[in-house]
């Protein structure tokens, strides 16, 4: 995004009940099942959900105790947790088909450590990380508030709060902010669409959502009444996988930075941490966030590239967007490589990724979340490199 002048920028979010997010949740549930049984299991699970049907496909390498029957059971539990018990999509009677098979031996040879060869990347690819000072979580503000609105709706719905009675799991949001000289100063429009029971009127839906929108945005940021679009097509009764087919990995911009930063193209959910699509994207965010948290810059974009079967990154690139405070970007790139081993194995070990921690990442973004020491989730959001970075640049 530009750092000068005035402009509008928009990001969207989707709820855990959006069809693509249902698929992401099931794929990450499968991954967690394998990692709980064997921290070094290999998983690449894709999920498709449609009217009363769930299809799992992909490649795995793990213990025989993780059976297809068990995974089908976990898929139903994930759907139950999201809240789907509708005629067109229910955790009780949806047909679950599991088509997972053994990982390719050709891929395994490239990835596995052997002799003097360290573990290689699970695929080629470029990954990006980003951080900025627009919010306390060092995330782009349009995405942050899009997520926040839907998370608050979800929390109320899950707690069976009477204020949102009649709302169903499928929902989307979109927030447009006005920027002046690179800083957000207010919202010019907000869009929220949410599935609801047939007997809930559009007026009632609007009455439910307006207070949530208002409490989610900073004071003075609410757009005018005619720029708040709630269920703009009117009725939204048929939703979720019954209304639209869902697939793993189709919400990668929602998962990352809302379009405010580049994306390498790889999805996250259902992939074990030997896949650098996931683990390297996490370490990119980790490094970029620590750079900004250390006060070295107002914003930071970081790119790392890999080749399949090769243990070291082919490149590390840092862009401080002209906001670096007397920081040489070449020196910063070298310093970051010294602070963290950026091999696939080094990333997994530094961020403790070989654990069953992924289901919570499947909705409301993989970044800008709060690390949980007890559960071991979102370790890439820690800012524990700040002291070392400050020391390296005499801060």
Pick out the residues of the known binding site for ATP: 18, 170-172, 244, 250-251, 267, 271
Binding site residues for L-methionine, as ranges? 59, 103, 244, 275
Binding site residues for Mg(2+), as ranges? 20
CA distances from 174 to 189, 194, 340 (A): 8, 12, 36
Question: Pick from 169, 171, 189, 173: which is nearest to 78 by CA?
Answer: 169
Cβ–Cβ under 8 Å, residues 187 and 223:
yes
Question: Pick from 97, 100, 13: which is nearest to 50 by CA?
Answer: 97
What secondary structure letter does DSSP report for 120? P
Strand order in the sheet with 42-50: 95-102, 53-61, 42-50, 246-247
Beta bridge partners of 49: 54, 246
12: left (phi over 0), alpha (psi -120 to 50) or beta: beta
What secondary structure letter does DSSP report for 275? S
Three-state DSSP state, 312: coil
Binding site residues, as ranges? 18, 20, 46, 59, 103, 170-172, 244, 250-251, 267, 271, 275
């Amino acid at each position: 995004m530009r750092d000068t002048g005035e402009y509008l920028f928009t990001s969207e979010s989707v709820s855990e009940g959006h069809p693509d997010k249902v698929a992401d949740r099931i794929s990450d549930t499968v991954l967690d099942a394998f990692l709980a049984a064997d921290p070094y299991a290999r998983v690449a699970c894709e999920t498709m959900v449609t009217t009363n049907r769930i299809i799992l496909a992909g490649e795995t390498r793990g213990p025989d105790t993780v059976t297809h029957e068990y995974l089908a059971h976990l898929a139903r539990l994930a759907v139950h947790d999201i809240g789907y018990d509708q005629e067109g999509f229910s955790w009780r009677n949806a047909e679950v088909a599991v088509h997972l098979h053994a990982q390719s031996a050709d891929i395994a040879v490239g990835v596995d450590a052997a002799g003097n060869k360290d573990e290689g990347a699970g695929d080629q690819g470029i990954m990006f990380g980003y951080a900025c000072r627009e919010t306390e979580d060092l995330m782009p503000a349009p995405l942050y508030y899009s997520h926040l609105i839907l998370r608050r709706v979800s929390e109320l719905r899950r707690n069976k709060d009477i204020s949102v009675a009649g709302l169903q799991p499928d929902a989307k949001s979109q927030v447009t902010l006005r920027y002046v000289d690179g800083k957000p100063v207010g919202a010019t429009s907000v869009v929220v669409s949410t599935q609801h029971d047939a007997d809930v009127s559009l007026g009632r839906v609007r009455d439910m959502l307006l207070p949530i929108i208002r409490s989610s945005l900073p004071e003075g940021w609410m757009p005018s009444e005619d720029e708040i679009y709630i269920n703009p097509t009117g009725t939204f009764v048929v939703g979720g996988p019954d209304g639209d087919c869902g697939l793993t990995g189709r919400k990668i911009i929602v998962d990352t930075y809302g379009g405010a930063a580049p994306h390498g193209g790889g999805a996250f959910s259902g992939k074990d941490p030997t896949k650098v699509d996931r683990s390297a994207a996490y370490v990119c965010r980790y490094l970029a966030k620590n750079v900004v948290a250390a006060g070295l810059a107002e914003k930071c974009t970081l790119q790392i590239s890999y080749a399949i079967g090769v243990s070291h990154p082919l490149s590390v690139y840092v862009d401080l967007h002209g906001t670096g405070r007397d920081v040489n970007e070449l020196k910063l790139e070298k310093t970051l490589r010294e602070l963290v081993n950026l091999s696939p194995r080094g990333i997994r070990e530094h961020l403790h990724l070989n654990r069953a921690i992924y289901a919570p990442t499947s909705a409301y973004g993989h970044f800008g979340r709060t690390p949980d020491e007890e559960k071991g989730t979102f370790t890439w959001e820690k800012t524990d490199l700040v002291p070392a970075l400050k020391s390296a640049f005499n801060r």
